[in-house]
């Protein structure tokens, strides 16, 4: 595959696949016509609007895939080197020009296409022909009357961040931040799509998020690596054997999430009875091609692997875009108000027995917990095999934290957190104040730095160097600024609950998950500064840690008091709209939530004080032992130096006294 003719053939094949990715959704849109709109009570905007929106959507999806793939390739597969002007190997920069150029061009296309979709998809989803935009206020109404216009605004903003980053810098950490922005931008139109409402949409929404992240990374990386191969460049991702396990895990996740989405969209019907079912089966077959391509790559059959990977990717993406033009069977099943907002019915009130017995797996956090615990235990086992000690307490703390996350999000607490403010507040307190304590005591970054081997002086930086680069980056240092952490940690309570944000966010499953992740992350940042095992970019003195901790206590107490005494019901319209079969006193529920916030803010802080005192005692003991060892070995002369300093001071005092006695009176 190294000849020019073969490379040209591969380039032509990739271009052909790109054309097919656009053609399949266009043909689907043309064949469906008004059947995509009228059955779900939407006005038909006309063939031109539908086809144009489909075409630009396909271009945007391709551009996002290549953008994410280019960023991932630059970060984990391309060349990296220490920043020359830094004089240190701690900061890295991208050393090749191929990925930055790919990212720059793909991001530019993504910016334009997503910007156009703000208007096009808004018109398409609202049943407005493009000619209607000539009417005063029509465009503004279309953009803000539904979710798609705002979703594409977020996507466009994320694409702009990536484009600007790729133009102004080649820093490794900057590309990592851009990758996060690109993934967030890719998720925006997904979470407001067909998985937004309906029975079991909580499972579907989590599956769509996991699938989008895994698919963008794996399939995008496969496309960019194929472009490297087609342009005669070395396929560096294939040199890193340890990424094969990650690729297998990603394919497994893609298949599992696609199966969940099939179950959700079919709503009990056969997949052979609808176009949605056939397209989903085609996507599963496409993932089979992706798996076959990875197997061929593992056996060093690069050309065959590249063809299979790109073919599977093209089929997967094309069918996915086409499915957005077809109303799935789940759109036509009877749905209760509770199922619209939560994805399931809540037939019993949130009594203690119900909260303990009514479980519903939170797929997003369960998957994250499995990945986090597996990676942590693998690192601990690697250290033990090398004969290096790793504290048992830390080995227990990290899995314990994630088990608590699963319990809180998947038990009755998670299930009823959307319907009861008191249960929501209990979940909030657990995620932001209790669970971060064992997580930061687990020291995952310290374990990773110990378990991952450092690259040789002239070798390519690996995961060890990547972690070091992040830990010493300006971005993380700014994120860990104590004032910022404290402000966000305390301000989140007041900004979320005492504005209209809470009632708005509670309507959507993805927003509820975002709140949970925010609570957990901010809590880890806050407690990481106080009792965290990992070395933070900004280390607080011992007394400052105690002050930092106690400074939050009055804010928590005041927040709880406001909730208990305020006559206004937080999220009143949302809770009233639920029409639950069991009666609830919203004022009493909010009063209980305020009490939970008050007590929940005090108890974990007392636990942290005890942990902090124990850490100080351990540090003092280690310092005393180290001094004793140095004294016993004769290496520590601090006491001798101290005594010599006292002798010199005494001699100077004696000399001054003698001089004064000699002076004439």
Question: What is the per-residue pLDDT for 241?
Answer: 44
- Of 371, 372, 395, 393, the C-alpha closest to 383 is 395
The residue behind tokens 């607490």 is 413
Question: What is the per-residue pLDDT for 152?
Answer: 96
Alpha helices in 192-267 (DSSP H): 201-230, 244-266
Burial 537-557 (b: 16+ CB within 10 A, else e): beebeeeebbebbeebeebbe
Q: Which tokens belong to 559?
A: 């927040």
pLDDT: which is higher, 379 or 622: 379
pLDDT: which is higher, 545 or 141: 545
Q: Residues with Cβ < 8 Å from 360, sequence gap 6 or more? A: 202, 344, 410, 414, 415
Query: How does pLDDT run across 625-654, given as a tens digit for each residue?
Result: 555 555 555 555 555 665 666 666 666 666
Question: What is the per-residue pLDDT for 604?
Answer: 81
Q: Where are the domains of the chain?
A: 1-36+196-335, 40-192, 352-633
Q: Which tokens belong to 188?
A: 């925006």
Q: Is the confidence at residue 30, as pLDDT, over 60?
A: yes
pLDDT: which is higher, 176 or 460: 176
Query: How does pLDDT run across 481-516, given as a tens digit for each residue?
Result: 999 999 999 999 899 999 889 999 999 999 999 999
Query: How does pLDDT run across 197-252, given as a tens digit for each residue?
Result: 889 999 999 999 999 999 999 999 999 989 888 887 766 554 454 567 788 899 99
Query: How does pLDDT run across 418-466, given as a tens digit for each residue?
Result: 999 999 999 999 999 999 999 999 999 999 999 998 887 777 788 888 9
Task: State how far Cα 277 lies from the chain centre.
Answer: 30
Q: Is the confidence at residue 388, as pLDDT, over 50?
A: yes
Q: Which tokens belong to 165?
A: 């980053």
Mean pLDDT, to the nearest integer, of 162-178? Answer: 95
End-to-end CA distance of the chain: 105
Q: Is the confidence at residue 566, as pLDDT, over 90?
A: no
């Amino acid at each position: 595959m190294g000849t020019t003719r073969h490379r040209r053939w591969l380039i032509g094949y990739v271009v052909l696949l790109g054309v097919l990715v656009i053609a399949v959704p266009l043909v689907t849109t043309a064949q469906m016509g008004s059947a995509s709109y009228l059955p779900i009570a939407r006005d038909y905007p006309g063939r031109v609007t539908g086809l144009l929106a489909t075409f630009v959507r396909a271009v945007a999806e391709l551009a996002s895939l290549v953008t994410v793939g280019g960023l991932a390739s630059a970060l984990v597969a391309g060349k990296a080197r220490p920043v020359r002007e830094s004089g240190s190997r701690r900061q890295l920069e991208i050393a090749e020009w191929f990925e930055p150029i790919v990212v720059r061009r793909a991001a530019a296309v993504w910016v334009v296409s997503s910007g156009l979709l703000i208007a096009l998809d808004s018109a398409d989803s609202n049943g407005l022909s493009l000619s209607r935009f000539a009417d005063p206020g029509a465009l503004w109404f279309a953009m803000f009357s539904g979710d798609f216009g705002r979703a594409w605004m977020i996507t466009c903003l994320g694409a702009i961040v990536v484009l600007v980053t790729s133009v102004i810098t080649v820093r490794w950490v900057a590309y990592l931040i851009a990758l996060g922005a690109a993934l967030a931008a890719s998720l925006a139109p997904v979470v407001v799509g067909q998985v937004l409402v309906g029975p079991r949409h909580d499972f579907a929404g989590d599956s769509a998020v996991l699938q989008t992240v895994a698919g963008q990374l794996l399939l995008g990386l496969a496309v960019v690596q194929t472009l490297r191969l087609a342009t005669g460049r070395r396929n560096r991702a294939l040199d890193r054997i340890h990424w094969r396990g990650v690729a297998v895990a990603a394919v497994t996740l893609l298949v599992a999430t696609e199966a969940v989405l099939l179950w959700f969209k079919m709503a009990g019907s056969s997949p052979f009875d609808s176009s949605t079912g056939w397209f989903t089966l085609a996507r599963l077959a496409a993932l089979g091609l992706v798996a076959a391509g990875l197997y061929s790559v593992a056996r060093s059959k690069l050309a065959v692997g590249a063809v299979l990977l790109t073919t599977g990717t093209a089929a997967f993406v094309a069918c996915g875009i086409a499915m957005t033009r077809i109303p799935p069977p789940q759109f036509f099943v009877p749905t209760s108000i509770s199922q619209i907002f939560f994805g399931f019915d809540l037939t019993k009130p949130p009594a203690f027995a119900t909260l303990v017995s009514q479980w519903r797996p939170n797929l997003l956090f369960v998957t994250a917990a499995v990945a986090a615990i597996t990676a942590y235990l693998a690192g601990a086992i690697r250290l033990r095999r090398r004969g290096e000690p790793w504290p048992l307490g830390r080995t227990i703390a990290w899995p314990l934290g994630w088990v608590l996350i699963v319990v809180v999000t998947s038990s009755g607490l998670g299930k009823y957190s959307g319907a009861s403010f008191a249960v929501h507040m209990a979940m909030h307190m657990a995620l932001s104040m209790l669970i971060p304590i064992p997580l930061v005591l687990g020291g995952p970054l310290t374990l990773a730095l110990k378990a991952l081997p450092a690259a040789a002086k002239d070798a390519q930086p690996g995961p060890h160097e990547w972690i070091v680069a992040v830990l010493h980056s300006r971005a993380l240092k700014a994120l860990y600024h104590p004032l910022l952490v404290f402000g966000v940690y305390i301000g989140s309570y007041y900004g979320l609950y005492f504005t209209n944000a809470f009632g708005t966010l509670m309507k959507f499953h993805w927003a509820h998950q975002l709140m949970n992740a925010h609570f957990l992350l901010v809590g880890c940042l806050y407690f990481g500064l106080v009792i965290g095992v990992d070395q933070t970019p900004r280390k607080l003195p011992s007394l400052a840690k105690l002050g930092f901790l106690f400074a939050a206590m009055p804010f928590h107490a005041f927040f709880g008091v406001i909730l208990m005494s305020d006559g206004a019901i937080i999220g009143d319209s949302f809770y009233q709209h639920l029409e639950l079969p069991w009666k609830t006193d919203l004022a009493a529920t909010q009063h209980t939530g305020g009490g939970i916030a008050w007590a929940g803010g005090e108890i974990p802080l007392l636990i942290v004080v005890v942990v902090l005192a124990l850490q100080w005692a351990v540090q003092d003991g280690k310092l005393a032992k180290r001094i004793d060892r140095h004294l016993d070995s004769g290496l520590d002369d601090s006491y001798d130096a101290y005594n010599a300093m006292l002798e010199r001071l005494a001699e100077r005092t004696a000399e001054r006294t003698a001089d004064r006695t000699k002076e004439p009176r």
